[in-house]
Structure 1
Amino acid sequence: MAVIRLRASPLDPDAPEARRWLEDELTGPEYQAAQPSPFDLAMQAIRDWFVGLFDGATGLPGPVLALLLVLLVVAVVIVGLLVFGLPRLRRRRRSDVPLFDDHDLRDLETLRRAATSAAAAGDWPLAIEERFRAVVRGLVEREVVTVHPGTTARAFADAAARSFPDLAGGLRDAASGFDGVRYLGREGSAEEYARVTELERRIADARPEGRGGHEAPAPEHDGAEAVR
């Protein structure tokens, strides 16, 4: 009977053999799964950066360093909110500004849809009114004009004309048209609605002159009728 001799691996390998064994072991799946992910590496880099900020503060106690680190993180969060969070809050606040005496809180797109719907139904007085409100809301949201409850259409037009002097005539005509269909019982027309719509488009595409922020004051009980 033939005898098969198995050659046992040396129990005391030399340096090259030991290195090969180690490399083979580290390629195993259990070691590959333990490798740090890109997120882990990023967090490590951020941590090392923070730690590097305090390399020169080795004389401070550990709790003090930890407190300084927490304060630094809080400062970073606050700066992030100021840079990225507050513009969104400001946009929401601008949309919450009520228009005129009826406290209209609708946003620009809602007013545009209402104007288009009224025009499609042939309701020209409502269409003209809603389109003029869209003109006002657009400039309020852009912080070009500031309005208050009770601000008249004419006061708004005068304030807006300071930022868009080339459109001053159209703004005042639109304000007069608004007053006419809302208070004087005028029927309006498709042509008048088209002019207000074109005015709103031109204002939306135009850049205001100066820094904007013109205020359209509310009437001081002098007999002027507020837009409502």
Structure 2
Amino acid sequence: MTPITLWQTLQASGAPLIPDGDEGRRWAERELADPVYDEARPTAFDRFAQAVGEWFANLFQVDVPGGVGATFALVAAGIVIVVIVAAFLIWGVPRRSRRAHARTLALFDEDDARSAAQLRADAADAAARERWDEAIVLRFRALARGVVERGVVSTPPGATVHAFARAAGRVFPACAGDLERSATAFDDVRYLRRPGTEELYRVVADTDAAIERTRPSVLAEVPG
């Protein structure tokens, strides 16, 4: 029963409009028993949200003696900034590291963890057994891995041998022609299945050796 309904009922019943103490208490108990008051009462979540809001409001108050509230707010803001920076350092750097590692492993559509020295040794072993196809492929990979290890040319996944040769030719202009011939030898053997020869192997090996002795002029990145 709402207050208006209670008033109308009292008027219709002829009951006294100014009750005594006991009668007033009974009226109040009946009125507060109405479900509408339960619905309007704040829930536990409402009280929690209000408490949190008051805490944040108090956090940034500046009228605390000695400016403690303002100082605490600045400290809290500093902690938030530190947490954000730490998150970038923890989760941002590994992503860059993984990307750099993927670029290091990728050599012309294949992953190869061998160093330039290992690839050269394997190429020399294949050449000693006159397995020229394998020797040419390995030596050209050694050439590419060598310039990547020196940090002068980057080979992203999907880079072709001729794109690499052009990029390396800008870094080592004196070897640009030999780089193109070496890339063609690699293409012929690796993709066109043409037979390798000792002569082609020597072209790739001599180009690799010349680049090892040459100082790079610029830095370059192979188009992906």
**Normalising to structure 1: TM-score of the pair?**
0.50
Deviations 1:141-191 (A, max 9, x none): 63625456373x3343233212211111210221232234342533311x5
- Between the aligned partners of 1:143 and 1:82, the Cα distance in structure 2 is 27
The number of equivalent residue pairs is 154
User: Are the aligned partners of 2:140 and 2:183 in contact in 1 as well (CA < 8 Å)?
Assistant: yes
With over 3 angstroms needed to count, the CA separation of the structure-2 counterparts of 1:201 and 1:63, relative to structure 1, is farther
Q: Which residue of 2 aligns with 1:169?
A: 177
- Amino-acid identity (%): 32
User: Are the aligned partners of 1:107 and 1:137 in contact in 2 as well (CA < 8 Å)?
Assistant: no
Q: Which residue of 2 aligns with 1:212?
A: 220
Q: Give, in angstroms, the shift of residue 126 of structure 1.
A: 0.7
User: Are the aligned partners of 1:132 and 1:175 in contact in 2 as well (CA < 8 Å)?
Assistant: yes
2:206 pairs with 1:203: no
2:134 pairs with 1:126: yes
2:158 pairs with 1:149: yes
Which one of the candidate residues 95, 113, 135 is aligned to 1:107?
113
- Between the aligned partners of 1:120 and 1:213, the Cα distance in structure 2 is 34
- Between the aligned partners of 1:97 and 1:207, the Cα distance in structure 2 is 24
Higher relative contact order (CA 8 A, sep 6+): 1
User: Are the aligned partners of 1:116 and 1:127 in contact in 2 as well (CA < 8 Å)?
Assistant: yes
Q: Which runs of 5+ in 1 are unaligned?
A: 1-57, 218-228
With over 3 angstroms needed to count, the CA separation of the structure-2 counterparts of 1:95 and 1:116, relative to structure 1, is same
Whichever of the two has the greater Rg, that structure is 2
Q: Give, in angstroms, the shift of residue 194 of structure 1.
A: 4.2
Q: Which residue of 2 aligns with 1:193?
A: 201
- Superposed CA RMSD: 3.7
Q: Which runs of 5+ in 2 are unaligned?
A: 1-65
Q: Which residue of 1 aligns with 2:77?
A: 68
Map of 1:7-156 to 2, 5 A cutoff?
59-61=67-69, 63-74=72-83, 77=86, 88-97=97-106, 99=108, 103-109=109-115, 111-139=119-147, 142=151, 144-146=153-155, 149=158, 151=160, 153-156=161-164
Between 1:77-86 and 1:156-165, the stretch displaced more is 77-86
Give the SS at the match of 1:59: helix
- Between the aligned partners of 1:165 and 1:143, the Cα distance in structure 2 is 13
Match of 1:136, as an amino acid? A
Q: Give, in angstroms, the shift of residue 105 of structure 1.
A: 0.8
Q: Give, in angstroms, the shift of residue 65 of structure 1.
A: 4.5
Deviations 1:85-130 (A, max 9, x none): 676444313125451xxx3111351644542442343312211111
Match of 1:105, as an amino acid? D
Give the SS at the match of 2:205: helix
- Between the aligned partners of 2:126 and 2:83, the Cα distance in structure 1 is 51
**Normalising to structure 2: TM-score of the pair?**
0.51
With over 3 angstroms needed to count, the CA separation of the structure-2 counterparts of 1:75 and 1:157, relative to structure 1, is same
